[in-house]
Amino acid sequence: MGDNSTAFSLPQPHLQRTKLCDMKDGDLDPLYVEKKEQLKKLVASIIHPKIVQGKPLNGKEFVAFLEQILDALNKGEIPSTGSLVEVFNKGILERCLKLYSEMMAKLHLPLLEKSLQDVHEISRAKSMRAFDEQHFGRHHAKKSVMQLDDGIEQVYKNVILANEYQSAKLCEALYTRCEDTMDELQVLRLPSLAKFNAGFLQCNLSFEKECVGPSKANYEHRMMKMLSKSKTLFIKEYNHRLFNWLVAFSLVMVVVGRFIIKFILIEMGAWILFIFLETYTRMFWSAESLYYNPIWHVIVATWETLVYSPILDLDRWAIPFGFVAAILVLYWRCYGRRKHSSGFLLPLYNNHKGGRNRPRSD
The reply to whether 32 and 102 lie within a common domain is no
C-alpha angle with apex 159: 154 to 162, nearest 5 degrees?
130
Spatial neighbors of 151 by CB under 8 A, at least 6 apart, are: 93, 97, 100
The reply to whether 67 and 111 lie within a common domain is no
Helices (H), the chain: 30-46, 59-75, 81-105, 113-134, 141-186, 193-210, 216-255, 264-283, 294-307, 314-331, 337-339
Spatial neighbors of 210 by CB under 8 A, at least 6 apart, are: 170, 174
Identify the domain boundary among 309, 329, 354.
Answer: 309
Please report whether residue 361 resides in a domain: no
The reply to whether 305 and 199 lie within a common domain is yes
Q: What is the pTM of this model?
A: 0.58
Distance CA 314, CA 291 (A): 23
Identify the domain boundary among 275, 292, 309.
Answer: 309
Please report whether residue 360 resides in a domain: no
Residue type, 43: V
Distance CA 255, CA 263 (A): 10
| CATH classification at residue 124 | 1.20.58
Distance CA 169, CA 353 (A): 75
Domain span at residue 157?
81-170
Q: What is the pLDDT along the chain (362 residues), one digit of tens a residue?
A: 445 566 777 787 776 776 777 777 777 878 888 888 888 888 777 777 777 666 777 778 777 777 877 776 676 655 555 556 666 778 888 899 999 999 999 999 999 999 999 999 999 999 999 888 887 666 666 778 888 899 999 999 999 999 999 999 999 999 999 999 999 988 888 888 888 998 999 999 999 999 999 999 999 999 999 989 998 888 888 888 888 888 888 888 888 888 777 778 888 888 888 887 777 666 665 666 667 778 778 878 888 888 887 777 777 776 676 677 767 767 766 765 555 554 444 454 555 444 445 554 44
The reply to whether 286 and 235 lie within a common domain is yes
CB atoms within 10 A of CB 295: 10
Please report whether residue 151 resides in a domain: yes
Please report whether residue 343 resides in a domain: no
